[in-house]
Amino acid sequence: MEFLVGILICYVIYIVYKKHISTDKKTYSQENLTEFQFEIIQTRPSGKPAKWYGFKEDITVNNITIKDGLIYVGEVLLDLDEYDNDACLINPKLGILPAKSWEHGELLGYWPRYSRIPEQCRGAYLNWLTTNRSEPEANIGCQSSP
């Protein structure tokens, strides 16, 4: 008997709870909804193709001479998506500000790209390249490819 009373109490609680939940539902008309549309238009980079400077090849970028190369320098080196330049490309047309290789690391961001980092970071990176890539105080963002 107690079992049946327990089941009856559970059933009553269920019915009351179900009515409470169904009355809390809100409906929204289509008029209240906002429609969003956006379009991304991305043009492929154009300009002088990048050149690879190998070991023992020197290159001067923005009046900074980098010995022993191992870098791409130019205006176009498409990444895998082929709609942006690769992060490692050093574009000599982009401005720099002189900086020591350990300065301004906090401005690099998580995945730095040479084309998107601030001018002082580009200066610091080029300076780091002149140290034979051995400056112990340089920001870790310089030590992978910017």
- All structural domains of the chain with their residue ranges: 2-32
Give the mean model confidence (pLDDT) for residues 6-22. Answer: 78
**What is the residue-averaged pLDDT of the chain?**
84
- Residue 66: predicted pLDDT: 95
Taken in order 85, 90, 91, 96, the sign of the CA dihedral is positive
- Residue 110: predicted pLDDT: 82
pLDDT at residue 98 is higher than 70: yes
pLDDT at residue 143 is higher than 70: no
- Separation between Cα atoms, residue 121 and residue 109, nearest integer Å: 10
Q: SS3 string of 2-46?
A: HHHHHHHHHHHHHHHHHHHHHHHCCCCCHHHCCCCCCCCCCCCCC
